[in-house]
Structure 1
Amino acid sequence: MESAISSLPSFDFTVHERTLLGDAASLALKLFPEWKSEDIELTQLTEGITNLLVLCRNKKLDIGVLIREYGKKSEYIIDRQRELFNTMELAKYGLAQKIYCKFNNGIVYGYTEGSTVSPKVMCEEPMISFIPKALSMWHKAPIAGDKVPSLFIILRNWVANIPDTYEDPAKAEAFKANFSKEQILNEIDFMESEVNKIMPPVAFCHNDLLSGNILLNKNKDGVFLIDYEYGSYNYRGYDIANHFCEFAGFECDYSRYPDTEKQRKWLRKYLSYLHEVEESKVDEKEIEDLLYEVSIFENASSLYWGIWSLIQANYSEIDFDYMSYAKLRFSRYYYTKKLTNFRK
């Protein structure tokens, strides 16, 4: 991994939030010295809540790159070296764009033409046909690296990074009133014990398949998955369940969460692409087994992003109410946990 990453061009340059667009332009001119400043068009993309992102387009050459400034203290959440390596690996299989360079607090990588979709559109046709196909390609890709599922390793590491004291007194009071590290660790132990009963398949997963990370291509006949910082080997059922949870959007409107029949339809398409067979040839038992995996991992998704939010609430400078989001995700966790028919 280290040798692959060391082959990337590297610039001793820092992008600052207060001068984001100007710094992005300066970095682009360092990376592409043949470009002229008057040809550069800059747009800040605001859909993400982990990093700051700028689309830098050369109007004359009709070329675009993305300049990502890592979010403050996001290294508490994301292994940036692993992200670089994973992206380089995914690019070998046409599943990611090329990384052009790294800099002190971010990376520059290729831009994919397309349009993001809304959570409401994501759970309708044609997206419920396009997305299973795209995700099956990820799950089949022989990405190099440790194939141990990351889910519970990450969750315990994240709990260790939840601050003992929040800098904002209101956040400190909200955490004290609603959360306990000990209880969160107990819930992680419980979920891991349930997962270990079924030993579900492991694949290289996206792990963050929300609407903003799905691009409908220019021809509107397929999608491309973007933003790979949470990518890792993980349980395939988690990747799918997490995607279903994202139908609710950041507002957590779980009325959009797919019912069993909608899930079954989606999973049949996914398995047909995964095994490269007609939908009618998909094994019904495999669908039922995957439905159960999804029901278990729906709970884990809420834990994952709830814990993530508790870390971000103290460190992120992005304008988002992470503490309230954490409360919403943990509330959902306890609700679905009661409804899940865990196997004995």
Structure 2
Amino acid sequence: MANYIHVPPGSPEVPKLNVTVQDQEEHRCREGALSLLQHLRPHWDPQEVTLQLFTDGITNKLIGCYVGNTMEDVVLVRIYGNKTELLVDRDEEVKSFRVLQAHGCAPQLYCTFNNGLCYEFIQGEALDPKHVCNPAIFRSEEQKRLSSKETVWKTFPNNCSTWMTTSLSFAYSLKAELLCRALQ
């Protein structure tokens, strides 16, 4: 049995840039982000780049980089949190990202760098309890997840059985329904 994540043939390679983004001071953070953007968006004028810090994360620092007044083309720069590599195998994380991207379940991964990665920002709204409790949305999201899961699951390790996939889907559905009942 294979015990690794298989990236589908034809998946684009992800460039590894030799850049370290300092996250302690805003000025140093900007320097690192602009260095990455020179590779990813060379046509952007560094003087016009806006950096927006997203503060919802627990360990990683996430910065949105864009030009202009609208967030039409945003590059997210994720700077890994201190010592998080002890918990997360970063090579496997990138492989997983590429597998999900190949199946349309993740944004485009632009590059990795010494202490993080850059990827596409997708406009949308995160699902919260009121969304999960709406049967039209919940059933729609559940159906999407189940239809793509079979395809995506085949690219993950073979030691993960079909019953486990079904059990996880059932557990997720049950958890969402219990959450809805508790909120009512």
TM-score per shorter chain, which class? 0.7 to 0.9
1:238 aligns with 2:160: no
Query: Given the alignment, which residue of 108, 112, 130 partners 1:121?
Result: 130
Preserved CA contact (<8 Å) 1:29 1:36: no
The one of 94, 117, 124 aligned to 2:104: 94
- What amino acid is aligned across from residue 163 of structure 2 in structure 1? P
Match of 1:47 in 2: 56
Give the equivalent residue in structure 2 for 1:11.
17
How big is the shift at 1:50?
A: 3.5
User: In the alignment, is residue 257 of structure 1 matched against residue 164 of structure 2?
Assistant: no
Contact 2:133/2:180, CA 8 A, preserved across alignment: no
Change over 3 Å in CA distance of 1:14–1:123 after alignment to 2: same
Q: Where does residue 186 of structure 1 map in the other structure?
A: none
Q: How far apart in 2 are the matches of 1:5 and 1:94?
A: 12
CA deviations over 1:269-307 (Å, ceiling 9, x no partner): xxxxxxxxxxxxxxxxxxxxxxxxxxxxxxxxxxxxxxx
Q: Which of the numbers 164, 168, 179 marks the counterpart of 1:202?
A: 164
Output one character per residue of 1:160-194: Cα deviation in whole Å (capped at 9) or x when no partner: xxxxxxxxxxxxxxxxxxxxxxxxxxxxxxxxxxx
SS in structure 2 of the partner of residue 94 of structure 1: coil
Partner residue of 2:74? Answer: 64
* Contact kept? 2:111, 2:117, Cα under 8 Å: yes
Written as runs of structure 1 = structure 2, the 5 A alignment for 1:141-152 is 141-142=151-152, 143-149=154-160
Change (3 A) 1:30 1:238: same
**Distance (Å, rounded) in 1 between the aligned partners of 2:117 and 2:125:** 22
Question: Structure 2 stretches of 5 or more lacking a match?
Answer: 1-5
* TM-score between both structures, scaled by the size of structure 1: 0.42
Distance 1:240 1:40 in 2: 45
Measure, in 1, the Cα distance between the counterparts of 2:131 and 2:59.
21
What's the RMSD between the two structures over aligned residues? 3.3
Q: Residues 16 and 242 from structure 1, CA distance in 2 versus in 1: closer, same or farther, beyond 3 angstroms?
A: farther
**Structure 1 counterpart of 2:3:** none
Q: How many residues align?
A: 170
Instruction: Report whether the alignment pairs 1:84 with 2:94.
Output: yes
State the secondary structure of the residue aligned to 2:107.
coil
Give distance in 2, aligned partners of 1:91 and 1:6: 10
Please give the per-residue CA displacement for 1:230-266, whole angstroms capped at 9, x wherever unaligned: xxxxxx4335535765x6xxxxxxxx6245xxxxxxx
How far the C-alpha of 1:76 sits from its partner, in A, is 2.2
Looking at secondary structure, tell me which structure has more helix per residue: 1
State the distance in 2 between where 1:147 and 1:116 align: 31
* TM-score between both structures, scaled by the size of structure 2: 0.74
> How many angstroms does 1:78 deviate by?
1.7
Distance 1:242 1:133 in 2: 12
Cα distance change, pair 86–72 in 1 and its aligned pair in 2 (3 A): same
Q: Name the % identity.
A: 23
Please, which runs of 5 or more residues in structure 1 have no aligned partner? 150-198, 204-235, 248-255, 260-344
**Structure-2 separation of matches of 1:28 and 1:91:** 21
Alignment counterpart, residue 34 of structure 2, candidates 25, 31, 44: 25
C-alpha separation in 2, matches of 1:124 and 1:244: 12
* Greater length-normalized contact order (CA 8 Å, ≥ 6 residues apart): 2
SS in 2 for 1:108: strand
- Which one has the largest radius of gyration? 1
Aligned partner of 1:110 among 117, 120, 134 = 120
Report if the CA contact (8 A) 1:56-1:64 is conserved: yes
Contact 1:69 1:107 in 2 (8 A): yes
